Structure 1
């Protein structure tokens, strides 16, 4: 059986499973559509939350970022993991106890303000739409390679599959579909990692293999990787970074953004009791850890595999001689030929010698060495988003492993896309139309509105996926910054401060959102369109060296500060609101079910 047929079999079987589950778990009421009926088991919800959380950025891009940036990009791993702990400990149980369907629901009622609710909807939509771009981009990458279609067709196929199981199933269908998707993606991620770890280090546990000896050289794998890439002008893989402030702010931005992501928060509204929300969070951390403890090993091993593929003699210790003998382009391995067809790997023979030179042509100190070797620039471009997907082929693993990782990559993108699209459609149908525009709408009409909103959101996400502003994890990082700067502070203050009022909340959200968007647009352009930025996006132009991807943390601090100061000089919330805050934070009524 050909590799294409195997890929088609694995991906097709997973699609059939998802659509079958959606038909079986079709939402029959608004409560089913928004919170899966409010009766999901904590373990089931933990697994669904893990799938919702581990997006295309986690499955596809994170290891690619670690592979290309090493320690410098470990902020992604620390921020996303730490943020989930923040969410689980400080927000999820209390929001579940509040007993509503959506994040704007909580903000609107807690701050007794239609303006606050509307602003929360706007913030939610901006963050979720930005986030979903990364999922559609990741799905396009996976489809274009494994189903041998164009990136455009890949995104349209992904949109169709999400439409079939999300529009009809709602949260109920999405929940059980995400359980299946978690099983698919975690198996797909760990099996290739085990094979590769065994091949390179002899250790079957990737996380331990990362700190084991590289079999070919008898030295630690990370030491070997450092030696290989330094010989080609790159910084040490394990090297520290100079701009500590930016790293801290970026990690914090990812943390508060994680805790403010509406599509993850609403997962905790699906369980029967507050205690179940806590248990769901605990189980989700276990399920997430299985992938996140493996990702650093996958990234490092992918980078080493790539470099020794181009420079086969790098397995030895004579790095200077090995660098003079990269492979000839005509002798490139099959996996490079395969990925070239997608356009995600490209080769440009700049010195016309027929060989593939891969090195850091941005390193001025290495320039004399490159000139002496007659190298005229890096010749192989490899998209970061493909490294995890290409890993099995790089390591010559069996065809069924490649088919499995194809299904896993697609599952990761689709699971998070569905959760995001549900959050967007819920905000439109429930928070805008049901609550603000037409409170008398029937349940049947509300569900129809929710499904139409979902369909419209899918079309918008598809368009944006076809015209993405960056690779998946970069786009996702921007979404986290926006969510962290706008929603996280008002959620935290709404739970832990009885004095926080509606004026302070609105002022804080506006400040955090506007400051963050202005900073992003200044350096990345209006909706990240090249050429529309006001200042060049370089560290020399950033304020205090703070990257646009890191500014969400600053936006959150501004949000907290403005909200606190404004609330102190304006009237305190009504007594019944203060009593509400008190009741949310203490156990009385903790077992109360959600009431629509």
Structure 2
């Protein structure tokens, strides 16, 4: 084993040991199921902000976004990032405080539980539908994280992809099952810091190695469409492909997904005081702008390094239309950094720990949300199985492990695209939960019939658009989130208006929370 590999392994082992230690310490404060799933509503503003954003910025921050920018230029990645920045700010502005106040008043600890109590759904229909959709979309989302870890270690050490993926999954499950939501939130806070340091360090190294900022810009300008927000670079024809208004709108509409992300919404619910959310919003918004901006620029810098001959080409000649290989950009850069001596190897290990951080910070939160949906919302509330506190905790942890196993199965193929998997799951959550979340907080005429119809139509449209409409190509080749979100929004309004109005009790609760917020 080389000196560079030893240095990398030391950094990563120290990082992983630290995450497990945080999980162990957090377990001391996890006394019951409510603590396990919501941390006792005692997160501070900094942890709330940074854990929310770290759990959002999964492996696509350090792998998906730079890889996409490296592969086709700034348009695809750029419009997506602009949408994410706008969505982040608006979600904190319009959703956070009202949801925090509403869920505290209703004593709801999960998103499906909130919908059940918000609409007084005694038959648990909303609870069941919400829990099932969380499982359907969180399993592949978690799989994207495991896939990123597998690619990381396989590319770095030449070890078996599946073995690396399973090992990473075991670590993530280890600290999450130990400390629950509190462990996930505290580790996410630490991971956001590691991710930020990794981005800045790799970007600086890349610019210097590529010959300076002027060389980076000159190289990007020499590639047709690469620096154009209205075109993408075609690697096969070495030409620019038009990037039309519909593509821009649908990629910008990634921001709509925030309103329906359970693992982000749970952070709003868990802060100790709703008055602290304003500070959290500012912290989160600034971090998102910097992190996404650097991720896009890193892809451009990586392409310049390839042209300069100091970085291997990450366009797969056997599959030149796939960005999967390009997603290993930061891994290849870290490996190159490690070859400059033991100290640089330790720094490279920190960069790779940043990739692990981006992956783990999302996977742990997703596992918590999926686990709560099964053990709390399905087993106990929908099926009416009463569990003791000890049995409920055991069920929660067993469910978390089961979801992780399914994620490993989905991510088994090393050719799977991190960005592709995340985009589908993101669309699913955005369309299923986003419209009903906004309307439940701001339109008192919304009722349970509209909520049920909206969630089902939004989820169904994601599948219909992706697998039946989008393959038609042309103007129909649009990201599925925007049309699915719009359909769900219309269905909720129409169905709510043609069915009985909510009971006075529900309306009074709505007005009370509105005044609080």
Identify whether the pair has TM-score above 0.5, normalized to the shorter chain: yes
Q: Is the 8 A contact 1:46 1:287 kept in 2?
A: no
Aligned to 2:127: 117
Secondary structure of the residue that 1:499 maps to in structure 2?
Answer: coil
Aligned to 1:223: 221
Aligned to 1:34: 37
Aligned to 1:317: none
- Once residues 46 and 119 of structure 1 are traced to their aligned partners in structure 2, the CA distance between those partners, rounded to angstroms, is 29
Aligned to 2:332: 390
The 1:451–1:86 alpha-carbon spacing in structure 2 relative to 1, beyond 3 Å, is same
1:64 is aligned to 2:67: yes
The 1:469–1:141 alpha-carbon spacing in structure 2 relative to 1, beyond 3 Å, is closer
- Once residues 82 and 259 of structure 1 are traced to their aligned partners in structure 2, the CA distance between those partners, rounded to angstroms, is 12
1:86 is aligned to 2:80: no
TM-score (norm 1): 0.78
Q: Is the 8 A contact 1:489 1:560 kept in 2?
A: yes
Secondary structure of the residue that 2:73 maps to in structure 1?
Answer: helix
- Once residues 585 and 32 of structure 1 are traced to their aligned partners in structure 2, the CA distance between those partners, rounded to angstroms, is 27
Shift of the alpha carbon at 1:36? 1.4
Greater radius of gyration (CA): 1
Q: Is the 8 A contact 2:206 2:301 kept in 1?
A: yes
Q: Is the 8 A contact 2:316 2:325 kept in 1?
A: no
For residues 111-260 of structure 1, the aligned pairs below 5 Å read 111-113=119-121, 114-200=124-210, 202=212, 209=213, 213-214=214-215, 220=218, 222-224=220-222, 226=224, 233-236=237-240, 241-252=242-253, 254-260=254-260
- Once residues 90 and 512 of structure 2 are traced to their aligned partners in structure 1, the CA distance between those partners, rounded to angstroms, is 21
Determine which structure has the larger helix proportion and give its number: 2
Which of the numbers 476, 479, 501 marks the counterpart of 1:545? Answer: 476
Secondary structure of the residue that 2:441 maps to in structure 1?
Answer: helix
Shift of the alpha carbon at 1:66? 1.1
TM-score (norm 2): 0.89
Aligned to 2:56: 53
Q: Deviations over 1:505-543 (max 9, x none)?
A: 1111111111221222337xxxxxxxxxxxxx75xx237
The 1:382–1:117 alpha-carbon spacing in structure 2 relative to 1, beyond 3 Å, is closer
Unaligned runs of 5+ in 1: 203-208, 310-332, 349-359, 363-379, 524-536, 591-596
The 1:232–1:436 alpha-carbon spacing in structure 2 relative to 1, beyond 3 Å, is closer
Q: Is the 8 A contact 1:134 1:468 kept in 2?
A: no
- Once residues 483 and 361 of structure 1 are traced to their aligned partners in structure 2, the CA distance between those partners, rounded to angstroms, is 31
Q: Is the 8 A contact 1:23 1:165 kept in 2?
A: yes
Shift of the alpha carbon at 1:393? 4.7
Aligned to 2:230: none
Q: Is the 8 A contact 2:323 2:417 kept in 1?
A: no
The 1:47–1:381 alpha-carbon spacing in structure 2 relative to 1, beyond 3 Å, is closer
- Once residues 97 and 31 of structure 2 are traced to their aligned partners in structure 1, the CA distance between those partners, rounded to angstroms, is 26
Shift of the alpha carbon at 1:64? 0.7
Q: Is the 8 A contact 1:96 1:277 kept in 2?
A: no
Q: Is the 8 A contact 1:136 1:461 kept in 2?
A: yes
Which of the numbers 490, 493, 497 marks the counterpart of 2:443? Answer: 497
